[in-house]
Amino acid sequence: MGKNFSAPLERTARLLDLVPYINTHQGIALKDLAAVFEVSNAQMVNDLTTLWMCGLPGYTPLELMDLDFESGYVNISNAPTLAKPRSVTFDEGVALILGLDLLRASIPTDRSDLLEKIDSLSARLSSIINLNSTFSVVAPVNQGVSAAIDEALASRSSLEIEYHSMYRDEITQRTIFPIEMIQVEGQQYLSSYCYFASDFRQFKLDRIQKAVVTQESKTIPEDATDTQRINSRLKVLKPTREIAERFNRQDLKAGSEFDFQTYSQQWLERSILSSGDGVALLTPPEIRASIAQMAQSMLDRYKAE
């Protein structure tokens, strides 16, 4: 009995095989075609309907596949035209080479067969578009880090990580208990309990430089609460792109106020000072006083000179 559902990759492979097969078996009965590809009649109708919307760039009726299967027999009229090789533009070739490079980074090193095919295809594309220089794109997240995170989440194990903290601009060694992967503003984070901070933290994946699954059995402490988060309120004095990016705001207007949360007092103090007269901290008062003291200390140094 034919399958009523196909995985995306399986269906894509079948669609690629359908066109040359139909071209050499014009007028084949729909039920016979479904039997050849081991799918149900309904699935074959879905596949043929999808092919109706495929063709060459331009995607007008002149470039799309001309299929006929309403009578129960399948014919394709313009397969030879679509089969003519088309040239690859320079921009298309570069995009394909970069895509292959990303694919290479996601493949295990022991799959030399796939890596060789990717290298061969990249070389052919470079030759076609006359690309003399070599270039590559680096995946934002290390493959080893991703594998360790997946293993830890699946086995409910802890991780030893090396993390580049942008707050203090230093690399720290931490033991964490991963909870879940989340996505914020298009960026991937690992929500975890950090034993180093004794609190919950979110680690940006592309800043995790190394991750190793530990054999030590650890759990989240029962009394653990998210207590170290700093809630602040800021006022915009002179809106700039730099301030918008630093505080992840898109609606900055002079005189507007917004709430901001962070785990690091040091980062907040440095960010306010580096913003100059562009933004002011309204609360909390103790950090506001600390910033004022730091600013005064800088002014005193100028006076001393």
Residue 287 contacts residue 190 (beta carbons within 8 Å): no
Domain boundaries, the chain: 8-83, 90-128, 143-213, 230-304
pLDDT at 138: 58
As a whole number of angstroms, the distance between CA 27 and CA 76 comes to 9
Mean pLDDT of the chain, nearest integer:
81
User: What fold characterizes domain 143-213?
Assistant: SH3 type barrels. (2.30.30)
CA 188 to chain centre: 7
Taking only the tens place, the pLDDT of each residue in 222-280 is 665 555 678 899 999 998 888 888 787 877 889 999 998 876 677 788 888 888 889 99
Per-residue pLDDT for the chain (305 aa), expressed as one digit of tens each?
455 555 667 788 888 888 888 888 989 999 999 999 999 888 899 888 888 777 666 656 566 777 888 888 998 877 666 555 567 788 888 888 888 887 777 676 777 888 888 888 888 888 888 887 666 665 666 777 888 888 888 888 899 999 987 666 688 899 998 888 877 666 788 888 888 888 788 888 888 888 999 877 777 776 655 556 788 999 999 988 888 887 878 778 899 999 988 766 777 888 888 888 899 999 999 999 999 998 888 888 776 55
Could you tell me the pTM of the whole model? 0.40
Options 1.10.10, 1.20.120, 3.90.1150, 1.10.3470; CATH for 8-83 is 1.10.10
The pLDDT of residue 82 is 59
**Residue-level pLDDT at 151:** 87
Q: Output the CA–CA distances (angstroms, integers) from residue 31 to 21, 40, 107, 266, in the order listed.
A: 14, 8, 39, 70
What local confidence, expressed as pLDDT, does residue 161 receive?
Answer: 92
